[in-house]
Amino acid sequence: MQEKDLIHLLVEIRDLHREHLEEYRRVTQESLELQRRAVRRQEQFGRLYRKDLAAWALLVIASVLFVDWLCGCFC
What are the tens digits of pLDDT across the range 8-23? 999 999 999 999 999 9
Confidence of residue 1 (pLDDT cuts 50, 70, 90): low
Rounded CA separation 27/22 (Å)? 9
Buried b (16+ CB within 10 A) or exposed e, 45-62: eeeeeeeeeeeeeeeeee
pLDDT at 74 exceeding the cut of 90? no
Rounded CA separation 63/56 (Å)? 10
Q: What is the pLDDT of residues 25-64, one digit of tens each?
A: 999 999 999 999 999 999 999 999 999 999 999 999 999 9
Range of the domain at 57: 1-75
pLDDT the model gives residue 72: 84
pLDDT the model gives residue 73: 79
Count of the separate structural domains present in the chain: 1
